[in-house]
Structure 1
Amino acid sequence: MHAVEFHEFGGPEVLHATEVPVPEPAHGEVTVDVAYAGVNFADVLARAHGYRVPALPFRPGLEISGRIRAVGPGVTGLRPGQEVAALTSHSGYAEVAVAPAATAFALPEGISLRTAATLPTVLPTVQGLVHEVGRLRAEETVLVQSAAGGIGTVAAQVARLAGARAVYGVVSRPEKAAEALKYGYDEVFVGDGFTEDVLRATGGRGVDLALDPVGGDTFRRSLDSLARYGRLVAYGNAGGAAPWQVGQPELNPRGLSVGGFSVLTLAQDDPGALRALAADSFRLAASGKVQLPVTAEFPLDRAAEAHRLMDTRTTTGKLLLRVAGE
């Protein structure tokens, strides 16, 4: 079968299409004939810096959609031919991928395989950020970093459905602001001066909840953007700065709190909790109340082009690799 792997760390050019044996599922696993594979920033970090790469060669790809090819021993509730979306530890950039049965989710009616490939990481992450860790309440205000990205475009919509009074976004480039505004933001701010913009927009109060995948100075500025009793949820370190540290001097005076979330760690440590988030997410997607924008699609053998585009930091929405398609 065709697959895309890398044998060394580096730029997009290290991704190579290759022929590999078709895998067989082990105990508790399924194999999936892949229709689409999501392209995530974690894939880029794996290729460039070895993020979550146990050994080389390595085949990236954290999320897929397709039809179950075979089920391994001990698997119940899934059958060959069933349409699923799945979160994999790796292996998604291939015609056939292996996934734990615990993180393979049968698709409800009304969700296409193309849309399904955007579901395993994006909507469960947003549900975790907004509801489980962020504990958003009606009439509260929200600030979302990377507002035009795959998670950012969905976060505003989910916050609106949860009753947020106002949702503000931050993007790195002016051209991304117009894209983000399509998905429910009241205002979208550009660049590092967003703390002043937030205070202006909220009459000096700040926001109740901030979501930050960037880290570093952005984390600090997001903390400064919070209202009294505000919460900040960090779910990445895309900026590559040293891990943030915060303590009583920053939190106590205004009663602030900081939380974290990782959908990949949740999948590994507590797949049952992920299944609960995924069930809510899939129902929401099937209802049509949330748009999951796919802004670019590449054939499998052009995965390097998808990574090259993502490296520019100009992308919006979700990127996919088309393997077998619908």
Structure 2
Amino acid sequence: MRAIQLQEYGGPEVLRVVDTGIPEPGPGQITVDVAYTGVNFADLKARAEGYRVPALPYVPGLEVSGHVRALGAGVEGFEVGQEVAALTAGGAYAEVALADATTVFALPSGVDLRTAATLPTVLPTAHALLHEVGRLSAGETVLVQGAAGGIGTVVGQLAKAGGAGAVYGVVSSEAKAKYALAHGYDEVFVGGFGDLGGSGESGESRQGFVAQVRAATGGRGVDLALDPVGGDTFRGGVAALAVFGRLVSFGNASSAEPWRVGQPELYGTALGVSGFSILSLAKSAPRALREVAARAFAKVADGTVELPVTAEFPLADAAGAHRLMGARTSTGKLLLRVAG
């Protein structure tokens, strides 16, 4: 089968098409004939710096849609040929992907394979950030970094549907601000904090960002902040919280030193900081992940949210998808077309 493999870390050029063996499912596993593969920022970090890469050579990719190819021993509730979406632990940039059965999902009614490829990582993550971890209550205000990306697009819509009083976003350009405003956001700030993958934001830009949030909320701050960037962005998010506010960290796109926060930052205004990783949850609590995914997928099936596919590349041009996402000009969801 064809797959995209990296044999060294570096820029998009290290992604190479190779012919490799077809994986066979072990006990509790499923193989999927891939129709579409979702492209995520975590794939770029894997390619560039080895994020969650156990060893080289490595086939990146975390989510697919397609048809069940084969079932491993003990797998029930699926049949060969069934249309599914799946979260993988890597290996999704390929014609056949391997996944644990606990992270394979039957498609909701009315959802096609192209749309399904946008679901496995983004929808459960967005839902968990707002509800299971963020504990959003009606009337509360929400602040989202990277508001025009895949997760940001879904969070804006889910937050409004969940009764948020106001949803604020941060992006890196006016074009992205316009996009985010069309997907649930009430106000969008343009600045370095919206650049997923950026690093080294100055103290001046951080203070400017916090000042914008305070101004928009009449000095109060926000109830819930969602941060995939880390570093100065994380610290700015904490500084922008209202009394009793919560921040959920769900990534470190800046590759900054891991965040640390304690009594001096939290005690004064009774703040809370939590973390979320869908890949970690899939390993430690797969049943909880399936419950979150079911609730999240239902929001797509009933029309509450949509995640536009804004660019599609053939599998052989995975490097092109990485260049576009790495240029920080993309919005919505990027896909690789594998079958057809």
Question: Is the TM value for this pair above 0.5?
Answer: yes
Give the structure 2 partner of residue 147 of structure 1: 147
Structure 2: any 5+ residue segments left out of the alignment?
192-204
The CA deviation at 1:56 is 0.9
Q: Which amino acid aligns with 1:77?
A: G
Q: 1: distance between equivalents of 2:261 and 2:19?
A: 48
Secondary structure at the counterpart of residue 335 of structure 2: strand
Q: Which amino acid aligns with 2:120?
A: P
The CA deviation at 1:36 is 0.3
Q: 2: distance between equivalents of 1:41 and 1:136?
A: 25
1:174-189 equivalent positions in 2, closer than 5 A: 174-189=174-189
Give the structure 2 partner of residue 114 of structure 1: 114
Q: 1: distance between equivalents of 2:91 and 2:83?
A: 18
Q: 1: distance between equivalents of 2:160 and 2:72?
A: 41
- Asked if residue 215 in structure 1 is aligned to residue 230 in structure 2, the reply is yes
The CA deviation at 1:194 is 2.1
* TM-score, normalised with respect to structure 2: 0.94
1:222-241 equivalent positions in 2, closer than 5 A: 222-241=237-256
Give the structure 2 partner of residue 196 of structure 1: 211
Give the structure 1 partner of residue 6 of structure 2: 6
The CA deviation at 1:169 is 0.3
Residue 287 (structure 2) aligned to one of 272, 284, 288: 272
Q: 2: distance between equivalents of 1:313 and 1:77?
A: 40
Q: 2: distance between equivalents of 1:318 and 1:63?
A: 12
**Residue-pair matches, total:** 325
The CA deviation at 1:12 is 0.5
- Asked if residue 305 in structure 1 is aligned to residue 308 in structure 2, the reply is no
- Asked if residue 292 in structure 1 is aligned to residue 307 in structure 2, the reply is yes
Q: Which amino acid aligns with 1:297?
A: E
The CA deviation at 1:185 is 0.5
Query: C-alpha deviations, 1:261-314, integer Å up to 9, x for none?
Result: 000100111111110011111111111110111111000000011111111122
- Asked if residue 41 in structure 1 is aligned to residue 32 in structure 2, the reply is no
Secondary structure at the counterpart of residue 37 of structure 2: strand
Query: C-alpha deviations, 1:180-226, integer Å up to 9, x for none?
Result: 11101000001142211111111111110000001111111111111
The CA deviation at 1:175 is 2.0
Q: 2: distance between equivalents of 1:303 and 1:34?
A: 15
- Asked if residue 71 in structure 1 is aligned to residue 109 in structure 2, the reply is no
Structure 1: any 5+ residue segments left out of the alignment?
none
1:97-112 equivalent positions in 2, closer than 5 A: 97-112=97-112
Secondary structure at the counterpart of residue 183 of structure 1: coil
Give the structure 1 partner of residue 28 of structure 2: 28
Give the structure 2 partner of residue 317 of structure 1: 332
Q: Which amino acid aligns with 1:266?
A: L
Q: Which runs of 4+ in 1 moved over 4 A?
A: none
Q: 1: distance between equivalents of 2:107 and 2:243?
A: 41
Secondary structure at the counterpart of residue 182 of structure 2: helix
The CA deviation at 1:27 is 0.8
Aligned-CA RMSD value: 0.8
Q: 2: distance between equivalents of 1:56 and 1:150?
A: 28
- Asked if residue 248 in structure 1 is aligned to residue 281 in structure 2, the reply is no
1:87-106 equivalent positions in 2, closer than 5 A: 87-106=87-106
